[in-house]
């Protein structure tokens, strides 16, 4: 399963559910965000059924980033039961991303 693009309108339902949900707060102009994109896609495939990976464009959807105090890009948040369980600011390698998800979920 690939990453899922979400919006302010469906954010709350996107982070709900039984699986942990990673939200990538990103922007089109953000270089590190673009570096992370293939890692997120790859990890989404590898961890399908164990974790859901979503992306939200902060320029098009300002409500959710504001609600969670997102200040820098990329910001990754892992939600469990609709609540923030872990936050990471900045780009990561694919291996580190996988480790962070496994440690946090």
Q: Catalytic residue among 19, 27, 30, 105, which?
A: 30
Q: Residue 42 and residue 3: Cα distance in Å, rounded?
A: 9
pLDDT under 70: residue ranges of the chain? 1
Q: Which helix (H) or strand (E) holds 103?
A: helix 94-104
Q: What was the pLDDT predicted at 41?
A: 97
Task: Give the total number of structural domains in the chain.
Answer: 1
Annotation says 47 is catalytic = no
- Encode pLDDT of 57-72 as tens digits: 999 999 999 999 999 9
Q: Catalytic residue among 33, 73, 76, 77, which?
A: 33
CATH value at residue 55: 3.40.30.10
In the sheet that 4-5 helps form, which strands lie side by side, from edge to edge? Answer: 4-5, 52-57, 21-26, 75-80, 83-89
Annotation says 33 is catalytic = yes
pTM value? Answer: 0.97
Q: Which domain holds residue 89?
A: 4-104
Q: Residue 15 and residue 23: Cα distance in Å, rounded?
A: 8
């Amino acid at each position: 399963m690939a990453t899922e693009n979400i919006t302010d309108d469906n954010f709350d339902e996107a982070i709900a559910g039984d699986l942990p949900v990673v939200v990538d707060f990103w922007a089109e102009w953000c270089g590190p965000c673009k570096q992370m994109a293939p890692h997120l896609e790859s990890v989404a495939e590898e961890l399908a059924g164990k974790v859901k990976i979503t992306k939200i464009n902060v320029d098009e959807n300002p409500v959710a980033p504001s609600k969670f105090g997102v200040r820098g890009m990329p910001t990754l948040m892992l939600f469990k039961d609709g609540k923030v369980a872990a936050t990471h600011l900045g780009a990561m390698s694919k291996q580190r991303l996988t480790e962070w998800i496994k440690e946090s979920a």
